[in-house]
Amino acid sequence: MPLEMMGLFSRRVSVELWRLWSVSGTRHFSIGTFPTGQVCSSRSFSSGRYLRTDAFQPDQGDKIDLDLWKSVMRSQTAVDESIEEDKEQVKKGDSTDSPSGCVLAATRELVSMWRQAGKLVPDKITDEDVKTLAELTTKSSKKKYLKFLAIREGHKNKSKEKQEKKRAEREQRLAEFPETLENRPPVKNSFLMQYRDHWLDRLLGWRGAQAMNFGQPLVFDMSYEAHMTPQELTNSVSQMLEVESCNRRSLDPFHLHLCNLQPEGGYRQQLVKRYGEDAWDRLLITETPQRHVDVFPQEQLVYLTADSPNVLRTFDPSKVYVVGAMVDRSIQTGRSFATAKRLQMATARLPLDQFLRWEIGAKTLTLDQMIRILLTIKDTGSWEQALAFVPKRKHDGFYQEKKQSERGGTAGRDRGDRYPQRDQRERQGSAREPWGAGRGGQDRGM
C-alpha cells in the first residue's frame, strides 16, 4: 500500500513539474529516481511562481544613463559624509564657519541630489525646513520629513491652482457680462448698523484683559517638546492656536498660563512664527519658563490626565487646572500622570466613563476639545453639555439618552398592561363622533 501511494505521488509530481517546465525554464534541476523505482527524465522547470501579467515591465524605449546614476549616488554619499563631518566639527567647536554655512549648505545639496535621484522631495524648501532636516539623525527620518514637505507643497499648489481658476472664471464672466448700472444688483438697505470687525476685536480684547486680572487661571504644561516629533509639535502648535482663539471668544475666558515655555525652544519659535512678532507681544496670555509648581501654590494645582484614578465630578473655580500640551500619535500612556506624581500634584480625569458609552479609542482628547469642555463646564455646570465636544466616533451616546430611549420604547406597553380599561375607553371615545357636531345639528333643527 505505501508503494502504491508513493507511485501516485510521483505521478502527480511529474505532472506538476511538466507544467512548470512548459511555463518557464530558468533553472535546471536533475531529478533522480523515486522510491518506487520509476525513473523520471531530467527536465528544466521554474522554482518561482507563475509569471505575473500585472507586474511592472520597463519600457524598452527608456534607457537608463548609468553614468549619471552612478555620479548621483557617489555625490549623495559624499554629501552624507560631509554633513556628518560638519556636525562633528560644530559639536566640537573646531569649525570656523557658522552652521548655516556648512551643515545647511550640505543639506541643501543632499536634497538636490535626492531630487535628481527621483525621490519624493519638495521643489522649494525654506531655511527653517533645511535646519529641521539637518537636525534629524537617521536617513529614514529625513526621507519621511521630506515626504511630508512634498505632500504639503502639493496641497498648497492645488489650492493655488483652484484660486487662480476661480479668478480666471470671474474675470471671464465680467468680460462677457460687463457690470453696468442696469444689471447691477440693488443696494440692500437696513435699519441695523453694520458691526465692524475691529469693534469685535476691541470687545474680545477687553474680555481678555479682564480675564488676566480677575479670571480663573488655566495652565498648559509646555514641557513635552522633547517627547514629540516635528510633525506632532506642529500639530500641537495648531491646537494651541485653536485654544487661544476659543478662549478669547468665550463669554468668561480663562487666564491662560503657558508654563515651561523656553525662550529658545521650538515650541515658542513656532508660536511666534504663526502669530507674528507684533501679534505675539500683544497676546493677552502669560508665558513663563518657570514650572507651574513654582508659580501657583501646590495645593491649588490639579493635573488633568486620562490615566488618573480620580474622577473630576464637579468643577471647582478655586482650583488651578493643568493640561499637558502634548500631541502623541503613538499614545504615550502615563507620561503626564508620571509628571504629576513626580511633582506630587493632585490629579483628576474627566468623567467620560460615567456619562458616555465609550466604544473604541484611547480616552485622550485634543487641546482645543479640552478648552471647550472646560469653558462649557465652567459656564453651565452641566457635564452633558460639556462632553458634547467629545468626538462622536469614540462613543455611543450618553447613558441617560440610552435609558430614556429604552424607557420610551416600553412606555406604551407598560401603560397598556397597567391600565387596560382606561385605554379601552380612550379608544372607544376616539371612535365616536365628536360631541359638538351631533348636538349642534340637533339643536339647530329644533
Highest mean pLDDT among 25-39, 151-165, 200-214: 151-165
Q: Domain 204-400: give its CATH code.
A: 3.40.1280.30
Q: Which among 343, 287, 345 is positioned nearest to 319, based on CA atoms?
A: 345
> Going along 306-435, which residue ranges are E strands?
320-324, 346-348, 356-358, 395-398
Phi, psi at 255, each rounded to 5°: -95, 100
SS3 for 49? Answer: coil
* Residue pLDDT, tens place only, 35-59: 444 444 444 444 444 444 444 455 5
* Residue pLDDT, tens place only, 214-228: 999 999 999 998 888
Q: Which residues contact 393 (CB under 8 A, 6 or more apart)?
A: 361
Mean pLDDT check: name the lowest of 32-36, 337-341, 433-437. 433-437
The β-bridge partners of 356 are 398
Domain ranges of the chain: 2-45, 66-151, 204-400
* Residue pLDDT, tens place only, 391-424: 888 888 887 655 555 555 544 444 444 444 445 5
Q: Which residues contact 391 (CB under 8 A, 6 or more apart)?
A: 369
C-alpha cell at 249: 471668544
pLDDT score, position 187: 63
Q: Which residues contact 95 (CB under 8 A, 6 or more apart)?
A: 86, 89, 102
> CA–CA separation, 307 vs 298, rounded Å?
20
> CA–CA separation, 432 vs 173, rounded Å?
67
C-alpha cell at 325: 500640551
C-alpha cell at 376: 462649557
The CA-CA-CA angle for residues 99, 101, 107, to 5°, reads 80
Average pLDDT, the chain: 75
Average pLDDT over residues 314-322: 93
Q: Which among 390, 391, 373, 369 is positioned nearest to 382, based on CA atoms?
A: 373
Average pLDDT over residues 11-40: 54
